[in-house]
Chain A
Amino acid sequence: MSHSDPWWRVHEQPFRSRLPVVGRLVVWIREKWNSVATKWYVRPLIEQQNEINRRLAGELEQVREEALVVQNILVSLDSEQLDARRVEVGALYTLADEVRRLHQRLEALESGSVPGDKAS
């Protein structure tokens, strides 16, 4: 496979033989037989497989990109939720404390004594 080829492309493989003397003859016979019996049958299948692979690879890349976007959205939402919760709960404590102090003040006014603002 050359460097410019995509990872999913399927290629025809040349025949090879490790036999020392008759190896070349074996390869020649196989090639001849292939060109007669299987070449015209296998080539369209390879093309068909390459088309399937190309489409699957494209889909995979698309899904990956979408997953990345979804992950980024989740991270942002998580981050926004953290900040929002901190702000809201902080405000809740402040308001609750304000109410508590107003109660104390009201009670003191009602009883006619000076309000004592106990440390938190």
Chain B
Amino acid sequence: MKLAAVGPLPPARTGIADHTLVLLRHLRQHFESIVAVVERGARPALRPGDVDDVVEYRDGDWRWWRAGTVMPLYQMGNHVRHHSYVYRLLTRLPGVTVLHDGNLLPFIHAVTLEQGRRDLYVRELSAAVRDGSGHQRAWRSLRESKPPDAEQVRLLDRVVRSSLGVLVHNTYLRDHLLRIDPAARIGVVPLVNVASPHLKGVNRETARRRLDLDVDDFLLGTIGFIAPSKRLDAVLQLLQRLAPSHPRLRLICVGPMMPDYDLPAHIDRLGLGERVSLVGYVSHDQLELYARAFDVGVNLRYPTWGESSSSLLRLMAAGTPTLVTDAGGFRDLPDDVVIKIPPGAEEMEALTAWVKRLLGDAELRGAIGGAAQIYVLRQHDPETVAAQYAGFIRDIVRGEEWNANADDRSPEMEDVPPGEPSS
């Protein structure tokens, strides 16, 4: 069987691109050949042998598909620039879709209405609302210039119904997709660990020296895209609360900021300019150095729709104890590898209590970080994950019977040794 990898690849600045590249290198052994189908103008940074061919996407040109002998593996996320062509293809040519996001409403909004395509917007909503009221809702939302409620309309239906199978990274999203179509083939596979092997021996002190960070500071840190759903307003409030008693407590945010999100102004209002650093986009290696330099990682997310979190994986792989929101896909993680913070009214108190505890207990930090590192090495090993992908695709190609409700675990997870926690 031949495979077509459709989705962004480095140097595209997205976690999905990094994930896909590592995955491809390990998928290579399972397929006769792999062709990368990339967006127009993309120049993927590939090593010789990563793939057999690279094809630029062109509307209507499906020669790479070779009349059904090449199975497309779509990497679908919500970045308009990198995933518009992926969505266009996956809704026309059924294949296996890896769904990294649990809510495509903003994406669909951007690729339809923002391009002046009201017809496509109405069509998408019509497909998503199965009781027949979709187009009425669409017209109403257009008349009122008000988007539909994201809790009710996540616009994942077309992805599920266009795909021969969908792979997700947590059971929360799997269960949501099965509610859309109980007969759909939905599998759960872990993200691949993309940590660079050459940084393996770099400890916290070394990472800080390389990044010119003070070794005596207590660093809270976030990595990845900075958006309101990352709950940084709560973290800033926490910082303000603990600042008087902990003068060396600091926050470092590494990653690009969402347009229109004025976090710097919020930091200034709270008078935390001296304690918070916004680093912006950094290279792959630097990102990992930061992940290693932090005492505690912060990877809160609310609301969450079951999206993949490669930033959490990087923090865990670095052995950094990390705070996550006890919601969505994070609930799949065992309790001893991350610290789960309840969302809502209890969030602030739980955050404060946990950070206070971690500040004074290096042993606890080491235990959680160590457990996280072992967990990632076992569960997110690229070779094992690639074998799970290949198994899922093989079953689909061979027309194996599928009953998602027969077993709570998806079949590709059967390769995981018994007793191991699932991702």
Residues of chain A at the chain B interface (Cβ within 8 Å): 71-72, 74-75, 78-79, 82-83, 85-86, 89-97, 100, 118-120
Contacts and interface: CB of A to CB of B under 8 A. Distances in A.
A101 to B, nearest CB: 9
Contacts of B394: 119-120
29 contacts: A71-B135, A72-B132, A75-B127, A75-B132, A75-B134, A75-B135, A78-B126, A78-B127, A79-B127, A82-B158, A85-B162, A86-B161, A86-B164, A89-B68, A89-B94, A90-B164, A90-B396, A93-B164, A94-B397, A94-B398, A94-B399, A96-B68, A96-B69, A97-B397, A118-B32, A120-B1, A120-B390, A120-B393, A120-B394
Contact of B163 (A74, A78, A86, A100): A86
A120 B125 CA distance: 36
B24 interface: no
Given A83-B161, A85-B94, A100-B1, A93 B127 contact: no
Contacts of A74: 123, 126
Contacts of A92: 67-68
B168 interface: no
Interface residues of B, number: 28
A79 B393 CA distance: 24
B161 A93 contact: no
Given A74-B126, A83-B161, A90-B94, 17 more contacts: A75-B127, A78-B126, A85-B94, A86-B164, A89-B93, A91-B399, A92-B67, A93-B397, A94-B398, A94-B399, A95-B68, A100-B69, A119-B30, A120-B1, A120-B31, A120-B393, A120-B394
A82 B127 contact: yes
A87 to B, nearest CB: 9
Contacts of B126: 71, 74-75, 78
B71 interface: yes
Interface string B58-100: 0000000001110100000000000000000000011000000
A120 B397 contact: yes
B67 to A, nearest CB: 8
Contacts of B132: 72, 75
Given A118-B32, A120-B393, A93 B68 contact: yes
Contacts of A83: 161
Interface string B19-51: 000000000001110000000000000000000
Query: Ordered nearest first, which 4 A-B pairs have the shortest CB separation?
Result: A120-B394, A120-B1, A92-B68, A94-B399
A86 B95 CA distance: 8
Nearest to B127: A78
A78 B123 contact: yes
B43 to A, nearest CB: 30
Given A119-B394, A120-B390, A89 B164 contact: yes
A82 B130 CA distance: 14
A75 B393 CA distance: 30
Contacts of B164: 86, 89-90, 93
Nearest to A76: B132
B1 A82 contact: no
Contacts of B390: 119-120
